[in-house]
Chain A
Amino acid sequence: MTLLATGIPGTDGSTANCTGEASTAVRPHVTVLVDRCAGCQECVVRCPTGALGMDSHRWVAVAEDALCVGCRQCVRTCPFSSITVEGPLLVAERVEVEEARPEHLVGDVDEIRRGLGSWEEALAESARCLACPDPTCVRGCPAHNDIPAFIHAVAERNLGEAHEVLRRTSVLPDTCSRVCNQAAQCEGACTWSLAGGTPVAIGRLERFVCDNAPVPPPRVSPAVVPTTGSELSVAVVGAGPAAIGAAWELVEAGAAVTVYEKDDRPGGLLGWGIPDFTLPEAVAGRPWEQLTRAGVVLHCRTAIGPGDLDGLLAENDAVLLAHGTSLPLRLPVPGADLNGVTDATTVLQAGKDILERGGDVADFLSALGLSGTGPGPRTISRVLVLGAGNTAMDVARTLRRMDLSAVCIDWLDEQFALVRPDELTEARAEGVDVRFSRTVTELRGEGGWVGHAVLAHTRQRSGSEQPKTLSEQPDVISVDLVVMAMGYRADPAFSEALPGAPLRREANGLPDRRWMASGILANSASEVAFSNPVGTLALGREVGLWAAALPFRDRLWAAGDALVGPSTVVESMTQGRRAARAIMAAGPRAPGGSGHRGPRRVLVAYESRSGHTQRAAEAAAGGFSERGDQVRILPISKVGPEDLAVADFLLVGSWVEGLVVARVRPAKAMRTWLAGLPRLGAKPVGIFCTYAVSPKGTLAVMRRAFEAKGAVVVAEAAFGPGELGRDLPEKWESGPVAFGRELAHQTGRARR
C-alpha cells in the first residue's frame, strides 16, 4: 500500500531513489532515540505512511522500517530531535515533461512550457504525493490550496472535484500553474523537497486539471445579483491579480463591483507583463471574460488618482486599491540617462505588441521611440538586461524572439537567485547569456547613445547577505540597448493614501507555533528551489495576508503590490480575496457615510498573566455592552486579522512588567503583538494597563505603538491595586467599570 502511494514500482528488491538511480533493496532505516523520545506522538500523527506507532508500555515511538519511505517528516517535526532516518527517499522519479523547443525562435510566441500530456503521466505524478496529514505544501502555497485533496481528486480521475477543491482558495489556477514559482512555494515546501529530494510536480498537476477541464466561472446566484442600491457596492482600483481575486469573491457574494483600470485592457501584469510564450492570451484573458459576464462592471482607460478616492468612497460602501506597482526601478549609475537606456515595462509592452502583430526589430525600435532621425546606432543587436529575475528573463526571451542578443546580469550569486529555476534553464536554452555575481557600475555613451557597460564582479556568501562589489578588474561589454528590469515600485502619488505601504513582509517575534510544528521551518527546500528557506518566505507572506484584511482607513482597503510592494500573482490574488472577505464582513456603510450599519462592534483585547487584566477588561467591556454594542473579549493571542478588521472600536489592556521601577513597560507579549500589528487605519483605540507598583511609561509605550500603526488613541487608564482589589467591588466600580462606561458613552456619542 505504501509503495504504491509513493509511486514505487514494487517490492521486488529494486527501488528507485529520488535521483532516479536504481538501488537494490536499500530501505530507509528509522532510529528512535528512546532516551529523549517523550512519546508526544507528533511524529506518529504526521507520518504519512503509518510507519511510526507507539509502544504504549514504554511510551515511546516505534518505527517499522518496512513502511517508511524516508520522507523525514518525523525528523523535522520531533520537538526533541529524537528521530533519525537514514537511507534513500523511496519515491518514483518525477514525470518530466519535455519543453517546446521552437526550431525558429524568432517571432515564435507559442507556449514553451507544456503540461502533463496524458492521464498516465498525471496519475503517475499524483501517485508520488504522500497525502501528508499535516501538509507543508499547503502552507508553502500563498493561497493555501488544499493540494493533497486536489491531487487525490486527480488520482481518482475526477477533474470536477479537483476544480472544486482548487476554487475554495484560488480563482486563477490556470494562470498560477503557469507563472507561479512553485519551487519556492508549494513544491519547495513539498515534503520530498524538504527532505532534499524532487518534489511532486504540483504546478503541472494543477495545470493538468485546468488544461483538461475549463475553470468554472463565478457562481453568482441570480437571487443575490444586485438589483437595488441596498447591496454592498465596492469600487476596485486596478484590474490585476489582486483585483481579480477580490472581484471574484465579491461578485460571488452578491456585491456590486465596479473596477477601474487605467490601461486599455484588464489584467495588469497578466495582460502586458508576461509574454504569451509563458502565459497565453487565452489564459490571461479568461478571468475578466468570466467576471464581466458575471456582472462586474469594468471601466478600462480610467485612471484613478489619490484625489479621486474621496469621491469613490462617497459613491461606494468600500474601495479596494489594487493598482499594483507599475513604476520600473532604475539603477542610478553614471550614464543611466543616455539614449538607449529603457525599462522592462516599455520593452515588454512593445515586444508583446510587435510579436502579436508579427512585426520586426524596426517596428520594435519604433515602438520604443528609438528610430527615426535622432542619434543612435542604425541597428541594434546587443542588449544588456539589468536583473536576472523573472521579469528580466521575460524581457530577454522577448528580445531573443526578435533576433536580438541578450545578456542578463544580476549582482546576486546564482545559488540565491530569485528567478524560477525552470525559467532560467529555458532562457539559457534560448540563448540568453545570464551572468550572476555582476553589477553594472557605469554606462558609457558614444554620441549620446549607450555603447559600453562596465560590469563589476560581486560576491555573496549567504541569501541574507547583500552582495559586495569586488575591486577586481571589471568586464566591459559593448551594448546597443540597456533594459532596466530590476523590478517595480509603487506609485508615489498614492503614498499619502496608503501611509506605510509597501508593507515589509517580515514575521515579527516567534513564528506561529503550528508552522513550527509542521516542520516547514526546519529545513530549506532542496536544490530544485535553490535551497530557499521556503518556510520563512511563506511566513512572510502571511504578514501580507494579515494586512490585507485590515482597512488603511475607514472603508479603504489595499491588496497586492499596492499593499506589499512587488509580489507574485498568487499572493496578490489571495490578498485580494482576503480583503474582499474583510469588506464583506464590514458590510454596507452606515447612513451618513461612516462605519457600517447595525450596532457598533467593539473588540476588547487583553494580555493577562494573573487574571487581573482579564477581569479589568471584562469589567470595562461591560460599559459597552450596556449601550447595546456588540462586544468580543479575547486574549491578544487569539485576536486574528478578521477580528481587527471588523472592529469599530478597540479596547486593549496589558499587565505591566518590570522590576518595581526598572524596565517598567507593557508585558513582552503585548509589545510583540503591538509590533506585529498591521496598519489600523485611523481606528479609535482605548488603552489601559494594570500594575502593582507603578505603570510608569507603560501607557505611553502602548500609545506610541498604536499611533505608529495609524490608530487614534482616544482614552487611556491605569489601574493599580487600589482599583483591582478582589474584595472591593466599589473600587472596581470606580475603576475599570467606570472607565468602560465613560469611554463607551463618549465614543458612542461621537459616532452618532
Chain B
Amino acid sequence: MQDRFAPSDPARGLDVTRNPLVARLVRNRHFQFFLILPNQIVFWAVIFIGILGTTVPGLNFGAAITWYIWFCLVFVMMVVVGRAWCSMCPFGGFGEWVQRHSFWNRSERSVGLGLKFPEPLARIGFLIPVVSFLLLTWLEEFFNIAGPGNPAATSFMVLGIVGSALAFFLVFERRTFCRYICPLTTLIGTVGSMGTVAGFRTRDRDICLTCETKDCMRGGEHGYGCPWYTWPGSADSNLYCGLCSECYKACPHDNVGLYLQKPLTSVVAPNRRRIDVAWGIALLWGLVLYQQVNALSLFGSLDTRLNNAIAFPHYPDPVDYLGIIALLALATAGAAWIVAKLLARRDLDLTTPGTFLERGSRFRTFFAPIAYGLVPVIGADYFARQLPKFFKHSTRLVPAVQHVFGASGTQSKLYTLRLLTNPRIVVVQVSVIALGTLAALWTTWRITNRELVPVSRNGVAIRVVTLGLVLVCGLAAGVLYVLMHAAS
C-alpha cells in the first residue's frame, strides 16, 4: 500500500501546518471566509459597476479588473499553488454560504435539496466542465465580453456564473457545482497540478484507514465533510483539493496536514490516470490553439466564409470554433492512438471492461499519460495568451478605480501606459512557451519512463516519440505567438 502512494506522498517535513501559527490560522473557521470576502466584494463591485458605470471598457472597473488583472492572477495562482482560487472563489463561496446557512460556523442544517449529482453525469467526470468552459469561451467571443467590449456584458457573465452556482448549490449537495460544472474547474485542476501545494493529505495513512468515523468525509464537530469529495487518506494529487481546510478542521485525530510538494509532482506522480482528465487536456489544448489561430488574418476570412455559408451573424462561427477545437483534440488523441498502435507490446492485454472512466484499452493506456505530460506546455500557452492584455492595459486599473469616484479618465497617463510593447511581449510569450515546453519535456520523460516504457515494444522509440510530440506542441504554440504579433 505504501508503494502505491510513495511517489505522490509529500515529504513529512513539507507539512506547513506543523508551524503552530499556520496550524492555528488554518484551523480557524474564519479562515476561508476572510479569503472569500475580498473577492466577494470585488466581484459584486464588478457586477454593479459593470452595469451602472461608464461604457468605456478600459475605464470601467468591472471590465478592467476582470480582463486585465484577474485572469492573469488566476493563472499565476494555478501554476504556483494549485486550486488557490477555488479556496477564495466568490462564486462557489457565495453558494456555499447560502447552502450552509452560515458564513463560517459549522452549521448542522443546510439549505436546499442536497441531492446527489446524477450518476450518469458524474460518470463522465471532467467532460461537463470542459464543455461549459468551451461554451463560456464561445459566448465571450460572440459577445466580445473579454475584449473587453461593453462592460455590462462582463457583469451579466459574472452574474450568470454566480446565479448558476447558487442554483446548483441549492439543488445539489456539497460543491457539486465546483467539481462537476464550473467552467474553470478543468483548467484550474489540470494546470494547477503543476503547483507546489500538494493540498491537504494524511499524515499517517494507517490512522485514516482505521478511523471509525471518517469525519473528514462525512463532516465532524469542527469541520464539514470534504466539499470536493476528496479523502486525504488516498489523495495522490492536488487535482481535487479545493484547499478549503475542512478536512483539517474535522479530523479528530489531528492526522491531516497541508503539504507542499515539488513543482509538477501532481502531474508526474499519480498512479491513477483519469481518461476524463486526458480528454479535458486535449480539448483545452484545442481551445488555446484556436484562440491563437483566430488572431491570424487567415482565420478571419475562413470565419467570414463559413458565416456566410450558414447564415450566422458574425464571429465566431460555431462550426469553425468547435471544428478546430475538436480537430486539434482529436489530433492529439490520434497521435496517441498511432503511438499505441505502433509501439504497444503485443503480449499484453490492456483491455478491461467498465464505464467511461473505468475502461482500459491500449489506446487509453497511451493516451492518458501522454496527455498528462502535455499539461505544462498547455498551462504555459494559456498564461502566455493572457500576457498582452496584462502588459498593455493592466495600468488602466488605477484610472478605472479613480473613475468610480469621479476622478480621472482616458486622459490619465496610466490609461495609455504600456508595461511592455509588442516585440517584447512576443519575446516574453515565446519564453513562457519555451519554459512550459521544457517542463513538459521533463514531465513526459518521467511519465514515459514509468508508465509507457514497460508497455512498449521499444523503449527508445517511445521516449523519442513522446518527447517529440511535446516539442511539436511547444513549437506550434511558439510559432503562433510570433505570427500573432502579441494580439490580445
Contacts and interface: CB of A to CB of B under 8 A. Distances in A.
Contacts of A42: 214
Contacts of A81: 116, 173
A637 B106 CA distance: 16
B357 A34 contact: yes
Interface in A696-727: none
A516 B27 contact: no
Contact of B213 (A35, A56, A516): A516
Contacts of B20: 610-611
B222 A80 contact: no
Interface string A448-461: 00000000000000
Contacts of B213: 513-514, 516-517
B220 interface: yes
A517 B214 contact: yes
Interface in B48-95: none
A79 B233 contact: no
Contacts of A56: 1, 4
A659 B24 contact: no
B231 interface: yes
A58 interface: yes
Interface in B261-277: 271-272, 276
A42 B233 CA distance: 12
Nearest to B21: A610
B119 A31 contact: yes
A509 interface: yes
A516 B218 contact: yes
B189 interface: no
Nearest to B235: A38
A510 B231 contact: no
B346 interface: no
Nearest to B358: A34
A80 B351 CA distance: 28
A40 B231 contact: yes
A84 B20 CA distance: 42
A39 B218 contact: no
A428 interface: no
Interface string A599-615: 00000000001110000
B100 to A, nearest CB: 14
A57 B276 CA distance: 18
A41 B233 CA distance: 11
B30 A659 contact: yes
Interface in A54-71: 56-59
Contacts of B123: 33, 35
A80 B217 contact: yes
Interface string B221-247: 110010001110111100000000000
Contact of A38 (B122, B217, B221, B357): B217
A81 B115 CA distance: 10
A42 B125 CA distance: 23
B330 interface: no
A84 B212 contact: no
Contacts of A33: 119, 122-123
Interface string B196-225: 000000000000110011110111111001
A219 interface: no
Nearest to A82: B229
Contacts of A58: 271-272
A157 interface: no
Contacts of B125: 35
B451 interface: no
B147 interface: no
Contacts of B105: 668
Given A33-B123, A79-B218, A514-B213, A59 B229 contact: no
The DSSP consensus for interface residues of chain B is loop
Contact of B225 (A79, A82, A509): A79
A611 B254 CA distance: 12
A82 B125 CA distance: 13
A38 B218 contact: no
Q: Which bracket fits the contact residues of A? A: 20 to 34
Contact of B222 (A39, A611, A669): A669
A462 interface: no
B409 interface: no
A226 B123 CA distance: 69
A510 B30 contact: no
Nearest to B274: A35
B23 interface: yes
Contact of B233 (A40, A513, A514): A40
Contacts of A509: 108, 221
Given A36-B229, A41-B209, A56-B1, A513 B218 contact: yes
A672 interface: yes
A582 to B, nearest CB: 25
B252 interface: yes
B355 interface: yes
Contacts of A510: 108, 219-221
Nearest to B249: A609
Contact of A34 (B23, B230, B355): B355
Contacts of B357: 34-35
A31 B355 CA distance: 10
Contacts of A82: 229
Contacts of B221: 509-510, 637, 669, 672
A57 B352 CA distance: 14
B117 to A, nearest CB: 9
Nearest to B116: A81
Contacts of A84: 119
Contacts of A669: 221-222
Nearest to A511: B108
B1, B119, B173, B236 interface centre (most CB from chain A within 10 Å):
B119
Nearest to A638: B252
B30 to A, nearest CB: 7
A698 B212 CA distance: 33
Nearest to A636: B221
Nearest to A31: B119
Contact of B234 (A38, A57, A513, A668): A38
A36, A39, A40, A509 interface centre (most CB from chain B within 10 Å):
A36
Contact of A637 (B214, B218, B230, B252): B252
7 closest A-B pairs by beta carbon, nearest first, are A79-B217, A38-B231, A513-B213, A39-B234, A36-B229, A80-B229, A79-B218
5 contacts: A35-B125, A38-B235, A40-B217, A80-B217, A609-B24
Interface of B: 1, 4, 20, 23-24, 27, 30, 105-106, 108, 116, 119, 122-123, 125, 173, 208-209, 212-215, 217-222, 225, 229-231, 233-236, 252, 271-272, 276, 354-355, 357-358
Given A510-B221, A514-B213, 16 more contacts: A34-B358, A38-B229, A39-B233, A56-B4, A58-B271, A58-B272, A79-B225, A80-B217, A80-B231, A84-B119, A510-B108, A517-B212, A609-B27, A637-B221, A668-B105, A669-B222
